[in-house]
Amino acid sequence: MADLLFLLSYLFIAIIWINHHHLTGFVDRPTPRLIWINFAHLFLVSFLPFATAWIARTRLASSPVVFYAGLFIGIDIVYNVFEREVLIRAEATQVSERSRRVARRRSVVVLVMFMIAMLIAFAAPRLGFGLICAALILHLRPDTFIGQRQ
129/113 Cα distance (integer angstroms): 11
Q: Contact at 8 Å (CB) between 38 and 16? A: no
10 Å Cβ neighbour count for 65?
28
Q: Contact at 8 Å (CB) between 126 and 69? A: no
Residues comprising the chain, all counted: 150
Query: Of 46, 52, 64, nearest to 1 (Cα)?
Result: 52
Which one has a higher pLDDT value, 141 or 118? 118
Q: 134 by DSSP, 3-state: which?
A: helix
63/38 Cα distance (integer angstroms): 28
SS3 content of the chain, % helix, strand, coil (to 5): 80, 0, 20
Query: Of 79, 13, 16, nearest to 51 (Cα)?
Result: 13
Q: Would you state the pLDDT for residue 149?
A: 45
Q: Would you state the pLDDT for residue 123?
A: 98
Q: Would you state the pLDDT for residue 150?
A: 41
Question: For 53-100, what is each residue's pLDDT tens digit?
Answer: 999 999 999 999 999 999 999 999 999 999 999 988 887 678 888 888
133/150 Cα distance (integer angstroms): 29
Rg (the chain; Cα; Å): 16
The rounded percent of the chain whose pLDDT value lies above 90 is 68
